[in-house]
């Protein structure tokens, strides 16, 4: 390697090819250092991903207290209501975690809850309403 190539500060083997946030991006980190992509990816998957999931409830609760997060954070399965799990984001919006379809004894849909309108379209690509006139549906 030529003398002007700086090596990754983590592994000391590969050249610095990506920007690693000193404080993780999900915490609003803006300052970066140059590191090799494999090390940066490893820290992102092994550390930042799990830690961001662990911090999500705290970020959402801080939002309830008036502090805004720089980025949207989602607390997965924050609450359960009427047997349906809901995610709560840092904008304090509840969204069903997964589609939920309740059917009667004949198999007709009584109630369906979807995270988004797009999820309804993905679930039922055959066209037409999967609900007919006899059932209600709700989405975000």
pLDDT, tens digit, 9 for 90 and up, residues 95-133: 999 988 889 999 998 888 888 766 665 655 544 454 443
**How many helices (H) and strands (E) are present in the chain, helices listed first?**
3, 8
Query: For the whole model, what pTM was predicted?
Result: 0.59
Q: Which one, of 9, 12, 39, 43, lies nearest residue 26 by Cα? A: 43
């Amino acid at each position: 390697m030529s003398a002007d190539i700086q090596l990754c500060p983590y592994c000391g083997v590969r050249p610095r090819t990506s920007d690693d946030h000193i404080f993780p991006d999900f915490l609003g980190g803006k300052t970066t250092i140059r590191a090799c992509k494999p090390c940066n990816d490893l820290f992102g998957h092994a550390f930042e991903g799990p830690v961001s999931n662990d911090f999500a409830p705290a970020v959402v609760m801080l939002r309830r207290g008036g502090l805004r997060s720089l980025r949207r954070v989602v607390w997965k399965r924050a609450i359960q209501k009427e047997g349906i799990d809901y995610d709560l984001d840092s904008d304090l919006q509840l969204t069903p975690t997964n589609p939920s379809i309740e059917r009667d004894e004949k198999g007709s849909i009584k109630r369906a809850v979807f995270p988004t309108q797009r999820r309804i379209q993905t679930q039922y690509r055959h066209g037409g309403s999967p609900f007919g006139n006899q059932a209600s549906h709700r989405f975000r």
